[in-house]
Amino acid sequence: MNKEKVAIFGLLFVALMAVITVVAHMACIPLGEACYRAQLAPEFLIESARQGTLLAPIATVFVSGLFALCAAYALAGAGYMKRLPFTKLALMTIATLCTLRGLAGIGGSFVLPELVTLFSVVASVLWFACGIFTFLALKWLPSIPPLQSNTATDT
């Protein structure tokens, strides 16, 4: 498999992980407190879900929207949908955040081992992989022009 195919596969994997994350997060709205707790949500969101306030569902929709945006940019970078504004910058941001999220979770496992669950380890490894895949796509895909590009589609 050549580098370009690996990069496209990687971006499709990133999009899939982001879509799964959207579905998982949105499931917390009807499923409630137990779902937020299972997904390691911050305590204030779990408490909001328990009390039935609007904070938890509004925060969930907002965060899910960010993950949906990540999926859209990954698909655009892979060439599976129309190019979006600031694609290069968005993919650089996604690559950095995913890599940092993965490293933080893995590193945090050594600092706070009592908080380690199978879910937290798997999530950290998957997000780290998403970050690496996105960095590789930025390097290997000629269809993603450099940031300094003056093309009308990159503004």
Record the pTM: 0.87
**Mean pLDDT computed over 121-149:** 88
For the range 67-70, what are the long-range contacts, defined as Cβ-Cβ under 8 Å and sequence gap of 24 or more? 67/18, 67/19, 67/21, 67/22, 67/25, 68/18, 68/19, 68/22, 70/14, 70/15, 70/18, 70/94
The pLDDT of residue 100 is 97
Say if CB 19 and CB 71 are below 8 A apart: yes
**Mean pLDDT computed over 85-91:** 95
Q: How many residues does the chain have?
A: 155
The pLDDT of residue 18 is 98
